[in-house]
Structure 1
Amino acid sequence: MADLIVDALNYVGIIAFAVSGALKAGEKDLDLLGFLVLGYSTALAGGIIRDLILGIVPPTNITSLPYQLAAIGASAFTFALYDKVSKYRDVVLYPDALGLGAFAAIGADIALKRGLNPLGVAAMAAITAAGGGVVRDVLAAEIPLVLRKEIYATAAAIGGLVYLSLYYIEGREVALLGTIISVVALRLLSLRYGWELPRLKRRAASPGA
Structure 2
Amino acid sequence: MDLAGVFVFGLSGGTLAVRHRLDLFGVLVLSLAAALAGGVFRDLLIGAVPPASLQDDRYLLAALASGFAAFFFHPQINRLGKPVMVLDAAGLGLFAVAGCGKALAFGVGPLPAALLASLTACGGGAMRDLLVAEVPRVLREEIYALAALLGAAIVIAGQALKLPDLPVAVTAVLAVFILRVVSVLRGWSAPRAPGS
**Where on the TM-score scale, by shorter chain, does this alignment land: which range?**
0.7 to 0.9
- Once the two structures are TM-superposed, the CA of residue 133 in structure 1 deviates from its matched residue by 0.3
User: Which residue is equivalent to 2:160?
Assistant: 168
Q: Which of these residues, 44, 60, 75, is aligned with residue 67 of structure 2?
A: 75
Q: What is the 5 A alignment of 1:53-64?
A: 53-64=45-56
Equivalent of residue 46 in structure 1, options 23, 38, 42:
38
Q: Distance in 2 between matches of 1:176 and 1:83?
A: 31
Please, which of 179, 182, 191 is the counterpart of residue 175 of structure 2? 182
Percent pairwise identity: 38
45-54 vs 150-159, greater mean Cα deviation: 150-159
Match of 1:115 among 87, 107, 113: 107
Q: Whole-Å Cα distance in 1 between the matches of residues 111 and 86 of structure 2?
A: 27
Aligned to 1:156: 148
**CA apart distance, 1:178:** 3.3
| Superposed displacement of residue 15, structure 1 | 2.4
1:135 aligns with 2:141: no
- Equivalents in 2 of 1:193, 1:143: separation in Å? 21
- Tell me the distance in 1 between the aligned counterparts of 2:69 and 2:169: 31
Number of the residue aligned with 2:7: 15
Query: Cα RMSD (Å) of the superposition?
Result: 2.2
TM-score by length of 2: 0.87
Which moves more between the two structures, 97-106 or 118-127?
97-106
Structure 1 unmatched ranges of 5 or more? 1-6, 204-209
1:98 pairs with one of 90, 97, 122: 90
**Structure 2, unaligned stretches of length 5 or more?**
none
> Per-residue CA shift, 1:139-169, capped at 9, x if unaligned?
2222211101421221111221221122111
Report the residue type matching 1:123 in the other structure: L
How far apart are the structure 2 equivalents of 1:175 and 1:126? 17
Between the aligned partners of 2:33 and 2:70, the Cα distance in structure 1 is: 15
Distance 1:50 1:78 in 2: 26
Tell me, in whole angstroms, the C-alpha distance in 2 between the residues paired with 1:52 and 1:43. 16
8 Å contact kept, 1:126–1:153: yes
